[in-house]
Amino acid sequence: MKKVNPDNSLGFILNRTNTRMKNALLHKFRDYDLTPEQWAVLNRLWVKEGVTPKELADLTCKDQPTTVRMLAKLQNKGYITREVNPEDSRSFLIYLTSKGREAKDILFPLAFEVLNEATRGIEAEQLEAAKSILNQIYRNLESQR
């Protein structure tokens, strides 16, 4: 049997890198009382508002209960608002507030600082290859659900 070095396993490397990225974002967003997970929700809403919590959960790869909790926190912080869905009065649609829209101009540069630091010394072609490989791994595992 082949000896496996746990420090060199793909899962460990992915987890360690994800943790480091999240911690760096958390540090950058500290003054705005936002987590990387909340940033992901805002990021999706900057692209398209008026979506359901379920849609946001799918778009951010989170479960629905976690997403609902994040939305409640974002609403309490004044970044989003919930409106009754006109097509289904049992559900809500999520919209940005003016504070949520304005946050984009502040938070994007901070996120890019982290991304630029994280990818320092890596060629664009290497980054595209890495993203392609990681997306293929995701798709491979998605089919097993």
CATH number at residue 69: 1.10.10.10
pLDDT at position 4 = 73
pLDDT tens digit at each of 145 positions of the chain: 677 777 888 999 999 999 999 999 999 999 999 999 999 999 999 999 999 999 999 999 999 999 999 999 999 999 999 999 898 888 899 999 999 999 999 999 999 999 999 999 999 999 999 999 999 999 999 877 5
In a domain? residue 109 = yes
In a domain? residue 132 = yes
In a domain? residue 114 = yes
In a domain? residue 87 = yes
In a domain? residue 1 = no
Domain count, the chain: 1
Range of the domain at 83: 6-142
Q: Which residues contact 62 (CB under 8 A, 6 or more apart)?
A: 37, 40, 70
Residue 39, SS3 per DSSP: helix
